[in-house]
Chain A
């Protein structure tokens, strides 16, 4: 039986990997993948705390989060596809229309 800390450490590592991906990947798809990792790190946290506290609310919340993540991924990919159609690129550093 592993302690709560192991789960939290795993979640933190996964979150860190996700954040690194979001911050460094040039490809928009890669950024989306990073976001998925960060979301799932949070899910791990929720499940771990739920088990630790003995309450099911965290589990239920995780189910909701997964559902929403799926729709978010669908939306994100759709935006990327539209973006590719318009700009013929999905590289994040080419998309700087808001430059001041």
Chain B
């Protein structure tokens, strides 16, 4: 057994890469579907084992395995390898764990996918696992950026997995471009930082920062550019617009990429470079305010969504804002701790929502209701996830939320602190709204019992065998159901391959919650200088309980009429239903810019390029028309020409040459 955590991390990194390469090269094997899936799952499981071992044997000493990559005079310009420290090993475990569980879950969730599609899905999953681990373990900014783009690519591919569906293809492109807008900033920041320090390496830069060798001049621009990259990836306002649309992908993908791992890459990057950001307090202040604002904006948006996945997506944006605020407050470890716990319980929530969608055949909360009786296990684990997200003691998100609130308070950021408290209330409210609407209350007709069932079945048949059953998330489930629809109710707990990951994540959330509530810090060392005031914990929990109570009174007891509650917030609600017009604004601005530019280009093409050619051709035509009259066709005219020409020649010879 290799005892070195660096080598183990390298093994964890390369196993999914090997699985991906096999799946990519051996096309017949990939198209076989389930065996390809198992290869990928086994790769992920071994990767998880290696990552766990790397985490376990990690002894506090940073290990760095690096190979020269870009040669240059003297020492190489960049290296490639793995860097294991307290941050990267624990993040590695999270990535490989969620990756493995999601791959296992997908086996059940995508059970009716065609073999080719399933093989493609697992190839992307393996590539994503490799890229994300490469990002986590990167010892320098260049490798990090490369993997950063790779996870962006995987995100694009997996959002657009059902690419026959126009919304999915559109969402994939939107996600790609929006994150790319931030990535440009990141790339500029990396290059500028290289000019500033002369290295891409984290360790070297960190040493320079510690020795005070970094000139503070111009550093703010650099950190702001790097923050732009994090803003795009971690869906901070105003680049958050892609994440809710990314829910068009399969639900396990949303759980893995758009909740637990990839979207947290921005937070991870900022945590990784916290020592650099500490040198630019003004940028940190911006990070905190934008984070808190994003958290509030997304929480408000989550309250009006009727699509269960969109509620969770906005909740992810909101929680990412939480983490960013902690980083902005200067205690990035608190944000990173929340990243870890959030990764567990948000993956749990998404996978639970996936089970519900799989059973009901619809994303719409209006089609759900009373599911707790039909799907008791799913309801239970979903409840654990919800309580974790709400920040209730003994559940996963409790301590991490307290740490963030405490660090923001200790950082003297009263404004963001107030916003975050409001967000805590809203979070509890909208999550329990989902719980009460979906799992309690009267059982709704469900998607299959109503008229929509025949419509969906007809839709399924109309798709033909070529792309049936996976054309939409919707039709996907109805494809399953139309085969077995004679069995009565389809709303039951999913099979073992889907239930097992749910239970593991639920138990882990609980374990982390219980341990951290009773014994204090776990997984991450958070500097203790920011002692939170005593009133913080009771008030945060109280706010969360108030949110739960409001949701209970509104959606369970009916004491408060949901419609009158909504009308209380009239304009805000209207704005939220239109996503605060941010998407419209971007679309309008981009469309106007594109149109204006197209008009300019069109004018140049029409009047300059075409104009010159048209004038030239017109000249040619008129000149030709004039010249043709010389050709009379009569022999004797040509004889005249010949004679005159000869005479002229003779004159020329006689008078010019002598």
Contact in complex: B640, A23 (CB < 8 Å):
yes
Q: How far is the CB of A92 from chain B (nearest CB, A)?
A: 5
**A19-B643, A23-B643 as given contacts; A99 in contact with B636, CB under 8 Å:** no
Closest to B638 in A: A98
B633 touches A99 (CB 8 A): yes
Q: Is the beta-carbon distance between B631 and A93 smaller than 8 angstroms?
A: no
Tally of A-B Cβ pairs under 8 angstroms: 36
- A6 is an interface residue with CB less than 8 A from chain B: no
Could you mark each residue 319-350 of chain B with 1 if its beta carbon is under 8 Å from any beta carbon of chain A, else 0?
00000000000000000000000000000000
Give the residue of B633, B635, B640, B643 whose beta carbon is less than 8 angstroms from that of A100: B633
Query: A99–B635 contact, CB under 8 A?
Result: no
Distance A96 CA – B636 CA, assembled complex (angstroms): 10
B636 to chain A, nearest CB (A): 6
In the assembled complex, B629 has its CB within 8 A of some CB on chain A: yes
| Most chain B CB atoms below 10 A, which of A19, A31, A99 | A99
Q: List A contacts of B633 (CB < 8 A).
A: 95-100
Say yes or no: A92 contacts B631, CB within 8 Å.
Answer: no
> Complex formed: what's the CA distance from A100 to B628 in Å?
5
Against A, the Cβ 8 Å flags (1 = close, 0 = not) of B621-648 are 0000001111111111001100100000
Question: Please, which residues of chain A bring their CB within 8 A of the CB of B640?
Answer: 23
The answer to whether A100 touches B629, judged by C-beta atoms less than 8 angstroms apart, is: yes
In the complex, chain A residues whose CB is within 8 Å of the CB of B634: 92-93, 95-96, 99
Interface bin, chain B: 10 to 19
Q: Which of A20-40 contact B (CB under 8 A)?
A: 22-24, 31
Smallest Cβ distance from B632 to chain A, in angstroms? 6
| B-chain residues with CB within 8 Å of residue A24 when the two chains form the complex | 636
Docked-complex contact B631 and A99, CB < 8 angstroms? yes
Q: When the two chains form their complex, are residues B636 and A98 in contact, meaning their CB atoms are under 8 A apart?
A: no
- Within 83-100 of A, Cβ neighbours of B (below 8 Å) are at 92-93, 95-100
CB-based contact B632/A96 at 8 Å? yes
Which chain B residue lies CB-closest to A26? B636
A92 B630 Cβ-Cβ under 8 A: no
| Interface residues in B356-408 (C-beta closer than 8 Å to A) | none
Interfacial chain B residues near A95, Cβ < 8 Å = 633-635
Q: A23-B640, A23-B643 are in contact. Are A92 and B632 (CB under 8 A)?
A: no
Nearest CB of B to A95, in Å:
7
CA distance A96 to B633 in the complex (A): 4
Q: Which of B627, B631, B632, B639 contacts A23 (CB 8 A)?
A: B639
- The minimal Cβ–Cβ distance linking B628 to chain A, given in whole angstroms, is 4
Least Cβ–Cβ distance between B647 and chain A, in angstroms: 11
Q: Nearest-CB distance from B138 to chain A (Å)?
A: 76
Q: How many residues of A contact B (CB 8 A)?
A: 13
B629 and A22: CB pair below 8 A?
A: no
Report yes or no: B635 in contact with A31, Cβ–Cβ below 8 A. Answer: yes
| Distance between Cα atoms of A31 and B638 in the complex (Å) | 13
Contact A92 B628 (CB under 8 A): no
Residues of B409-443 whose CB lies within 8 A of A: none
When distances are taken between beta carbons in the complex, the residues of chain A under 8 Å from B628 are: 100
A96 and chain B: residue at smallest CB distance: B633
Among A19, A96, A100, the residue within 8 A (CB) of B630 is A100
A92 & B643 in contact (Cβ 8 Å cutoff): no
A98 touches B643 (CB 8 A): no
Residues of B within 8 A of A22 (CB): 636, 639
Docked Cα-Cα span, A98 to B629, in Å, equals 11
When A19-B643, A23-B643 are in contact, do A93 and B636 touch as well, CB less than 8 Å? yes
- Name A54-100 residues within 8 Å CB distance of B: 92-93, 95-100
A96 to B629, CA, bound (A): 13
A97 to B632, CA, bound (A): 9
Which A residues are in CB contact (< 8 Å) with B630?
100
In the bound complex, how far is the Cα of B636 from the Cα of A91, in angstroms? 11
Docked CA distance A84–B627 (Å)? 31
Instruction: Find chain A residues with CB under 8 A from B629 CB.
Output: 100
What are the residues of chain A within 8 A of B627 when measuring CB–CB? 100
A93 to B636, CA, bound (A): 8
Give chain A nearest CB distance to B198 CB in angstroms. Answer: 76
CA A45 to CA B635, docked complex, whole Å: 27
Q: Note all chain A residues with C-beta closer than 8 A to B631.
A: 98-100
B630 to chain A: closest residue by CB: A100
Q: List the B side residues contacting A19 at CB < 8 Å.
A: 639, 643
- Residues in chain A near residue B635, CB distance under 8 A: 31, 92, 95
Query: In angstroms, how far is the closest chain B Cβ from the Cβ of A99?
Result: 3
Inside 8 A of A31's CB, which chain B residues have their CB?
635-636
A residues near B636, Cβ cutoff 8 Å = 22-24, 31, 92-93
| Contacting residues, chain B, for A93 (C-beta < 8 A) | 634, 636
* Distance, CA A97 to CA B639, complexed state (A): 16
> Across the two chains, which residue of chain B brings its CB closest to A97?
B633
Shortest C-beta distance, A3 to chain B (Å), equals 22
Q: With A and B bound together, what is the CA distance between A43 and B451 in angstroms?
A: 111
Q: Find chain B residues with CB under 8 A from A92 CB.
A: 634-636
Residues 583-639 (chain B) with a chain A CB within 8 angstroms: 627-636, 639
- Looking at the assembled complex, report how far the CB atom of B251 sits from the nearest CB atom of chain A, in whole angstroms: 77
Residue of B nearest to A25 (CB): B636
Among B627, B629, B636, B640, chain A packs the most CB atoms within 10 A around the CB of B636
Q: Distance (Å) between the CB of A84 and the closest chain B CB?
A: 15
| Closest-CB distance, A82 to chain B (whole angstroms) | 16
Residue numbers in A under 8 Å from B639 (CB-CB): 19, 22-23
With A19-B639, A92-B635, A98-B633 given, name 20 new contacts (CB 8 A): A19-B643, A22-B636, A22-B639, A23-B640, A23-B643, A24-B636, A31-B636, A93-B634, A93-B636, A95-B633, A95-B634, A95-B635, A96-B634, A97-B633, A98-B631, A99-B631, A100-B627, A100-B628, A100-B629, A100-B631
Chain A residues at the B interface, C-beta cutoff of 8 Å: 19, 22-24, 31, 92-93, 95-100
Can you list 27 A-B pairs with a CB-CB distance of less than 8 A? A19-B639, A22-B636, A22-B639, A23-B636, A23-B639, A23-B640, A23-B643, A24-B636, A31-B636, A92-B634, A92-B635, A92-B636, A93-B634, A95-B633, A95-B635, A96-B632, A97-B633, A98-B631, A98-B633, A99-B632, A99-B634, A100-B627, A100-B628, A100-B630, A100-B631, A100-B632, A100-B633
Footprint of A on B, CB under 8 Å? 627-636, 639-640, 643
Closest 7 CB pairs of A and B: A100-B631, A99-B633, A96-B633, A100-B628, A98-B633, A96-B634, A23-B639
